[in-house]
Amino acid sequence: MSGAAREPVRGQGPQTISAVVACYRDAPAVEEMHERLTAVMSRIGVEYEIIFVNDASPDDAGAVLADLAARDGRVTVINHARNFGSQSAFTSGMRVATGDAVVLLDGDLQDPPELIEEFAARWRDGYEVVYGERTDREAPLLMRVFYKLFYRVFRAMSYVRIPLDAGDFSLLDRKVIDALNALPESNRFLRGLRAWVGFKQIGVPYVRPRRPHGESTNSFLRNLGWARRAIVSFSYGPLDLITWLALATVGLTMLAIIVQVSLRIAAPDLVPRGLTTIILVVLFVSGIQLLCLAIIGSYLAHIYEEVKRRPAYIVESVINPPGVARQPEIQPPQADE
At 119-172, the pLDDT tens digits run: 999 998 889 999 888 877 766 677 777 777 777 777 777 778 888 878 888 999
Find the Cα–Cα–Cα–Cα dihedral 66, 67, 73, 75, rounded to 10°: -50
Our measurement of the distance from residue 26's CA atom to the centroid of its chain's CA atoms, rounded to an integer in Å, reads 17
Of 140, 143, 138, 118, which is closest to residue 130 (Cα–Cα)? 118
- Report the alpha-carbon distance of residue 45 to residue 14 in Å, rounded: 10
CB 190 within 8 A of CB 180: yes
- Report the alpha-carbon distance of residue 307 to residue 316 in Å, rounded: 24
- Report the alpha-carbon distance of residue 94 to residue 85 in Å, rounded: 14
Our measurement of the distance from residue 102's CA atom to the centroid of its chain's CA atoms, rounded to an integer in Å, reads 15
The region, left, alpha or beta by phi > 0 then psi within -120 to 50, assigned to residue 145 is alpha
- Residue 8's pLDDT is 42
- Residue 276's pLDDT is 65
- Residue 302's pLDDT is 73
- Report the alpha-carbon distance of residue 94 to residue 220 in Å, rounded: 28
Tally DSSP H helices, then E strands, for the chain. Answer: 10, 8
Counted residue by residue, the chain has a size of 337
Packing angle of the helix pair 275-307, 237-266 (nearest 10 deg): 170
Alpha helices in the chain (DSSP H): 30-44, 61-71, 86-94, 116-124, 141-157, 174-182, 190-197, 220-234, 237-266, 275-307
- Residue 186's pLDDT is 80
Cβ burial of 86 (10 Å; 0-12, 13-18, 19+) is buried
pTM assigned to the model: 0.73
Packing angle of the helix pair 220-234, 141-157 (nearest 10 deg): 10
CB 139 within 8 A of CB 215: no
Cβ neighbours for 304, distance < 8 A, ≥ 6 positions apart: none
Strand partners, 21: 52, 105
Residues with pLDDT less than 70, the chain: 1-14, 138-140, 211-223, 225-226, 260, 263-264, 268-277, 323-337
CB 68 within 8 A of CB 34: yes
